[in-house]
């Protein structure tokens, strides 16, 4: 997996709470059996004026110029900022694949849905939790200057604003380490194969019906 250390970049201000994964990537794109190709369909229902499917070329669709993702001043943003409970609803990992492929490496919000939060780490995208007033401060910075760059420093666990303000954030030590080193989660777990086998042997002795 790709490593994450320090990211400096422009911000996309998505001023909504409860952004669900159906909104992040609608169901018709979940029919793809590939892991890539979802970036052009990120926020599809908000981003385009006419409906889309996997076999319609997005370049032929009418763009909703009012939607923040399509505003020219926000082009090239790598940090997505939103309100509470981001990524709620379906477990679809396609949501984070779409966010990642579009070009975001980090999401900042006051809170996330649990499954989306795990999926983000598993794809090398950092979900940062800041306090609501700190998230509000970022929205204000971007409202004043869409070109403003903020800095997300994972080793220091800090988000820094251009005016010098810095907001600390919490993250599990294990997740932080995996992200900084870009570790393969399955490879790491398989190092524990003996412990898994020992667990199975013990469990099978007391609850054999689980291994039928």
Q: Tell me how far apart the alpha carbons of residues 77 and 58 are, in angstroms, rounded to a whole number.
A: 20
Q: Using CB under 8 A, which residues numbered 129 to 148 contact other proteins? A: none
Q: What is the crossing angle of helices 173-181 and 114-121, to 10°? A: 40
- By CB neighbour count within 10 A (0-12 exposed, 13-18 middle, 19+ buried), where does 145 fall? exposed
Q: Tell me how far apart the alpha carbons of residues 1 and 3 are, in angstroms, rounded to a whole number.
A: 6
Is 204 a binding residue for other proteins by CB under 8 A? The answer is no
Q: Using CB under 8 A, which residues numbered 37 to 66 contact other proteins? A: 45, 51, 53-55
> Which of 5, 9, 18, 148 lies at the binding interface for other proteins (CB under 8 A)?
18
How many residues contact other proteins, by CB under 8 A? 64
Is 151 a binding residue for other proteins by CB under 8 A? The answer is no
Stated length of the chain: 212
3-state DSSP assignment of residue 50 = coil
Half-sphere exposure for 120 (CA within 13 Å, toward CB): 26
Distance of closest approach, residue 141 Cβ to other proteins, in angstroms = 18
Is 212 a binding residue for other proteins by CB under 8 A? The answer is yes
Please give the residue ranges that form the binding site for other proteins (CB under 8 A): 15-18, 20, 22-23, 26-28, 30-35, 45, 51, 53-55, 83-85, 88-94, 96, 111-115, 118-119, 122-123, 172-175, 177, 185-186, 189-190, 192-193, 195-196, 199-200, 203, 206-212
């Amino acid at each position: 997996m790709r490593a994450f250390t320090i990211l400096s970049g422009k911000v996309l201000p998505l001023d909504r709470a409860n952004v669900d994964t159906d909104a992040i990537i609608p169901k018709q794109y979940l029919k793809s059996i590939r892991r890539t190709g979802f970036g052009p369909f990120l926020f599809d229902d908000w981003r385009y004026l006419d409906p889309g499917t996997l076999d319609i070329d997005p370049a032929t669709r009418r763009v909703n110029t009012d939607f923040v993702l399509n505003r020219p001043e926000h082009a090239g943003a790598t940090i997505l900022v939103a309100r509470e409970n981001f990524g709620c609803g379906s477990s679809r990992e396609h949501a984070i694949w779409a966010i990642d492929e579009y070009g975001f490496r980090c999401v900042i919000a006051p809170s996330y849905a649990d499954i989306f939060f795990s999926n983000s780490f598993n794809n090398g995208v950092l979900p940062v939790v800041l306090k609501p007033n700190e998230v509000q401060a970022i929205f204000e910075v971007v409202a004043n200057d869409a070109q403003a760059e903020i800095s997300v420093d994972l080793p220091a666990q800090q988000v820094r604003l251009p005016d010098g303000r810095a907001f600390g954030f919490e993250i599990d030590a294990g997740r932080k380490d995996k992200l900084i080193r870009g570790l393969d989660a399955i490879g790491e777990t398989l190092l524990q194969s003996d412990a898994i086998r020992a667990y199975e042997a013990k469990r099978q002795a007391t609850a054999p019906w689980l291994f039928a």
